[in-house]
Amino acid sequence: MPKRKICIVTGSRAEYGLLYWLMKEIQMDPDLELQIIATGMHLSPEFGLTYKQIEKDGFYINEKVEMLLSSDSPVGITKSIGLGVIGFADALERLRPDIAVILGDRFEALAFAIACYIARIPIAHLYGGEATEGLIDEGIRHAITKFSYIHFTSTEEYRKIVIQLGEDPARVFVCGALGIDNIKKLKLLSKKDVEKRLGHAFKRHNFLITYHPVTLEVQTSEWQIKNLLGALDELDDALLIFTKANADTEGRVINTMIDDYVRKKPDNSVAFTSMGTLLYLSAMQYVDAVIGNSSSGIIEAPSFKIATINIGDRQKGRIRAQSIIDCDYQKESIKEAIKKAISKEFKEYLKSAINPYGDGHAAERIIRTLKNCQLLNVKKEFYRLGAED
């Protein structure tokens, strides 16, 4: 019997980091054939040409689809989606996979989903049902859910939302979050090795900072990152580890302001275009808190029993652990959240925090389903709640 061909698309460093163990499981399975399409930020010098890390990790990239324009405006992003659809159509015609795997909700994923759907290739979608009410990702995620045939959610609550969108419960599976697999399976670096790679020794307080644009807002990135940097500037004896924003609308202004800040304060701050999963998670285990609006602060950070200072609306709607401290965009609100995060009382409270996003075995659960599911056709009926009554 021929191997079942599983095609995975990845367009960003963070997404690849989450997909790593799933890709490894597919690569090692004698009944499966892994196909990889690299696109988006992976192919951009501005974002570190991170496709090289995929190859360094021992994966073969079957197709590279150029789609990212040198523009972070709404027009530029929209045109990038169009280029992606064209490029993915050609790549899928050559690869002819049995199943396409899409993680998340970025615009690259939407372009791939459109191409797969038109080509009648069944889509397995990871992490539908989640909520990010401040982002265009919210609508994109639900759109990909409707394009998809098989669904893997990180929690039971998100599974119910996918079903509410009309998807058959028999094709919606709870697997947990792949980010927890990384924490459980990677051999994280020692504190000394992290300091060596950072080029800085840890200080009394240490923070890992990632701030992305809130893409359903207009021209807010500059003043939001200004307020965050202003709050950080008042910290004493603190190391600030920045990871830069993705290729989203208004992302470049954030990265420019971070670069300017680090240039003026080289003794206590450092910035990375891409830290890579190993260094990022290794640093996370030694910091007092994750600060910003990245999903990693919501999903991965609670496993380390550290605080997350979640700023604004980007992650609004996601299920939260007890370790999440929400604050608004104002400088004083951010300062108060930092004060709470480093307090003895809150650190003691964190000892009992439970991560609601799984146990680190998501990849194995996904593989079992991908191997055994029937793929007779991609026709779906709209599942109506209460239809079973």
Q: Where are the alpha helices (DSSP H) in 105-200?
A: 107-118, 137-147, 156-164, 178-185, 191-198
From 245, 300, 278, select the one nearest 41 (Cα to Cα). 245
Q: Residue 389: its pLDDT value, please? A: 42
Q: Residue 387: its pLDDT value, please? A: 61
Q: Structure tokens of 229?
A: 């940097």
For residues 147 and 113, is the Cβ–Cβ distance under 8 A?
yes
pLDDT digits (tens, 9 = 90+) for 157-177: 999 999 999 999 999 999 999
Q: Which residues pair with 100 in a beta bridge?
A: 7, 123
Q: Residue 14: its pLDDT value, please? A: 85
For residues 109 and 144, is the Cβ–Cβ distance under 8 A?
yes
**Predicted TM-score (pTM) of this structure:** 0.87
Q: Does the domain spanning 4-176+360-372 belong to CATH 3.40.50.2000?
A: yes
H helix or E strand, kind and range, residue 207:
strand 205-210
For residues 62 and 36, is the Cβ–Cβ distance under 8 A?
yes
From residue 122, give the alpha-carbon distance in Å to each of 255, 285, 302, 369: 37, 38, 34, 13
CATH 3.40.50.2000 in the chain, residue ranges: 4-176+360-372, 187-352
Q: Where does 187-352 sit in CATH, by number?
A: 3.40.50.2000
Give the chain's residues under pLDDT 70.
376-377, 387-389
Q: Residue 65: its pLDDT value, please? A: 98
Question: What is the residue type of 154?
Answer: S
For residues 217 and 138, is the Cβ–Cβ distance under 8 A?
no
